[in-house]
Chain A
Amino acid sequence: MKLLRDIWLVFGRYFWIFTHNPAWVVIGVVQPLLYLFLFAPLLKPLAATRGFPSGGAYNVFVPGLLVQLGLFGAAGVGFSLISELRIGVIERLRVTPVSRVALLLGRALRDVLTILLQSLILILLALPFGLSINVIGVVVVLALIALIGLLTASVAYAVALWTRSENSYAPIIFTSTLPILLLSGVLLPMGLAPSWLRNIALVNPLSYAVDAARAVFLGHLGDPSVVKGVVIMGVLCLISIVLGARAFGRAVA
């Protein structure tokens, strides 16, 4: 009970900050739009290539874009934490009896909420271009994106608390997210990749999330890859929350 209340309180604070400074949300929405309008048209001719999954360019591309949004949207959240560390906000919160899990989840859920908003906007805008998906599909895919966002945000906050400086945080986060992203088949399906690359992709958890999202967008909701993707993301999410909450418990900055 106290935990839920604490999460709600912390979420409320960060949501307040978010609603009072929406500038970066605009940027966050513009970015996926650029992909949608400037990159997706290139896929049309590609859709006929051997190895490219059937189902239309947008139904193949948009799920990848959403996964990317979940990953990149949450990867940068540590920056704000580092500046809060510096001005003493984190110590001020840690010295209260508030739950350490809530310190993590309250703010991570705010991040997830913004990612879900962006995702929804993206899906709606892609519909007129020929994306086809039903409501259940949207719900399932948003749940998946939420898990990716929560996982990434928890890891990002933990890394921010460990490094305590933008100069170490930025290279760690960006050099690790890029290969994870590329090897997940987000941009182009791994079906097009040579076999060695496909083998590496097998150990990349994000590949399973992308597979699951694509299956949903192809209308295969009952596909085992969907359950597999959600379960893998869910388990990693729990682990990362434990890690992140522990980092909040012992931050030494």
Chain B
Amino acid sequence: MAVGVVDAAIETHGLRRVFKTRKQVVEAVAGVDLTVRTGEIFGFLGPNGAGKTTTLRMLATLLPPTGGKATVAGCDLLTQPDQVRKRIGYVSQAGGSDYEVVGRFELTFQGRLYGMTREAASKRAAELIEMLELEVCADRTVKTYSGGQKRRLDIGLGLVHDPKLLFLDEPTTGLDPQSRARVWDEVRRMHDRGTTVFLTTHYLDEADALCDRIAIIDYGKIVAEGTPEELKRAVAGDVVTLTVAGSSQAALDSLTDQPYVREASIEDGSVRLYVDRGEVAMPAILRQLDAAGLQLLTIGLHRPSLDDVFLRQTGRSLREVAA
């Protein structure tokens, strides 16, 4: 372990991917520069079609980039794909386990693909089954698994060879809250063991709770990058949301030019104000609305969430697009 050296698990420069179909040309990834540090949980956040999966598939050697360079787990992606493959694990959005096959068999087979002997592979399979709490279903075919059990098996398949770097494409999508929490626990445990985890998600709370650093991608480009805290701080200090009895537009118009309001917009019929210091701005807002003859119905003050970051960076609410 090198102390004081921040070495990169992933480094990309101008990574691009263009898909050509008969009807159109899609630039799914439009020049991505990323650095993922060894040992961190890195979250890749973005709406449908933003280019998350495409980026991951390129970094996992599954898809040749149209342009750009990348180093993954210390190896050059373009010239040493075999070396990259030995060092990474990848769990796709679709999963990866076959419904017709027994879980334990899949895990053992996967280990053998990485060169393990039969004994080593079945020992590792047993370990993973215990670690992922799959004892109850390990010896059944996957089609009998619950959603959460299947997801954990999928993750297990990516962990068989104890990779230094693990890619998880939407590991919790479609899971109930309980299964989701278990996947989070699993990711944290990998993190504690020193594995670098690169995961994609639609969920801001997930990125916020789980990730050391985050990049937000939209239309194939990184629009923001940093720790959840940094990103939230980049958005104006606090967020005030309020509703009025009359027209929200009128309230917006009367507030938008006030010196303490950095930015204002209407979201779902309520007025949303980004202000430097909420506790100072609130009384001023009340006075201003009074003066304008608008009756206040509700008012709330909160710290910016990643949703606010997303809204600021992309002009869209993540909740809308992920719905």
Listed in ascending order, the chain A residues whose CB lies under 8 Å from chain B are 6, 9, 12-13, 16-17, 20-21, 84, 86-89, 91-98, 250-252
Contacts and interface: CB of A to CB of B under 8 A. Distances in A.
A246 to B, nearest CB: 13
Interface string B80-115: 001001101110111111111100010001101111
A250 B81 CA distance: 12
A235 B89 CA distance: 38
A97 B96 contact: no
B275 interface: no
B93 A88 contact: yes
A205 B154 CA distance: 44
A109 to B, nearest CB: 16
Interface stretch (B58-66, B249-257, B259-267): B58-66
Chain B: interface size category? 20 to 34
Contact of A21 (B94, B100, B112): B100
A92 B85 contact: no
A197 B105 CA distance: 52
Contacts of B90: 91-92, 95
B112 A9 contact: yes
A88 B113 contact: no
Interface of B: 57, 60-64, 82, 85-86, 88-90, 92-101, 105, 109-110, 112-115, 154, 157-158
Interface centre among A89, A93, A95 (most CB of B within 10 A): A95
A97 B84 CA distance: 9
Contacts of B63: 252
Given A97-B85, A97-B86, A98-B113, A87 B93 contact: no
A93 B114 CA distance: 10
Contacts, number: 69
Contact of A20 (B95, B100, B109): B100
A95 B112 contact: no
Nearest to B94: A88
Contacts of A97: 82, 85-86, 113-115
Contact of A87 (B57, B82, B85, B98): B98
A84 B99 CA distance: 9
Interface centre among A16, A21, A91, A250 (most CB of B within 10 A): A91
B98 A84 contact: yes
Contacts of A91: 57, 62, 90, 92, 94, 96
Contacts of A20: 100
* In the A-B complex, the 5 residue pairs with the closest CB atoms: A88-B94, A92-B96, A88-B92, A88-B96, A96-B113
Interface centre among A86, A87, A93 (most CB of B within 10 A): A87
A17 B109 CA distance: 12
Contacts of A94: 61-62
Contacts of A96: 85, 110, 113-114
Nearest to A252: B63
Contact of A9 (B57, B85, B109): B109
A17 B100 contact: yes
A251 to B, nearest CB: 8
A12 B97 CA distance: 16
Contacts of B95: 87-88
Contacts of A86: 94
B163 to A, nearest CB: 10
B161 to A, nearest CB: 8
B105 A16 contact: yes
A96 B157 CA distance: 11
B88 A89 contact: no
Nearest to A6: B113
A251 B92 CA distance: 15
Nearest to B64: A250
Given A91-B96, A97-B114, A98-B113, 15 more contacts: A9-B109, A9-B112, A13-B105, A17-B98, A88-B92, A91-B57, A91-B62, A92-B96, A92-B158, A93-B113, A94-B61, A96-B113, A97-B85, A97-B86, A97-B113
